[in-house]
Amino acid sequence: MGLQEDLDFSITLSDMKLSEFAQNMLRKATVLYPEHLKDFIIENANELNLRAKNYAKQEYKKKTGLYFKKFKVSKAYVGDGRFFIKVYNSSPHAHLLEKGHRKVPRGKKGKSNKGSNEIGFKRGRYPLARGTRNFRPIYYKKIEKFIDEYFIKGIIK
């Protein structure tokens, strides 16, 4: 899971702080049983999406347009032999709520507010970043459980 400039959060297995054995098992699972791993990643991305949305709802009590409805999960795709999936918010003002913005009074008709009319700065609350940070330890445990479950049951040889 890494923060990218456009507020996308990728869940990748390469970022994990797992043991070398666990990483080798995940690489093996990626090659031998990609469908099981893909389903696992999609399931966890959907959970992360819900957590981020719930965190945002706690932070922003005021109406924020379609902000809450625009939390999305991308399709899972493979790149460099790894699975990727993104959790993001596609609303046009998501970056303002996420990272903060200048407070500028509305101008009168025909007049511009450019210049030194700034009256303050509204700090961002980073709901996606905080949701991801809170989900990371849970995700690590789920990865370890996934490895145990599939290798103990003998599904992945």
Q: 151: which residues sit within 8 A by CB, 6+ positions away?
A: 25
Q: What is the dihedral of CA 73, 78, 83, 86, to 10 degrees?
A: -20
Band of pLDDT at residue 2, cut at 50, 70 and 90: very low
Q: What percent of the chain has pLDDT over 90?
A: 18
Which positions ≥6 away from 3 have C-beta within 8 Å?
9, 129, 132
- Give the C-alpha separation, 82 to 71, whole Å: 24
For residue 17, the model assigns a pLDDT of 67
Average pLDDT over every residue of 28-37:
80
The pLDDT, as a whole number, for residue 111 is 64
Query: Domain residue spans in the chain?
Result: 2-95+125-153
Residues 50-96: tens digit of each pLDDT = 999 999 999 888 877 789 999 999 998 877 767 788 899 999 989 99
pTM of the model: 0.77
Please report the pLDDT score of residue 45 as a whole number. Answer: 92
Position 50 scores a pLDDT of 93
Q: What is the pLDDT of residues 129-149, one digit of tens each?
A: 888 888 888 988 898 888 888
Q: What is the dihedral of CA 145, 11, 29, 44, to 10 degrees?
A: 50
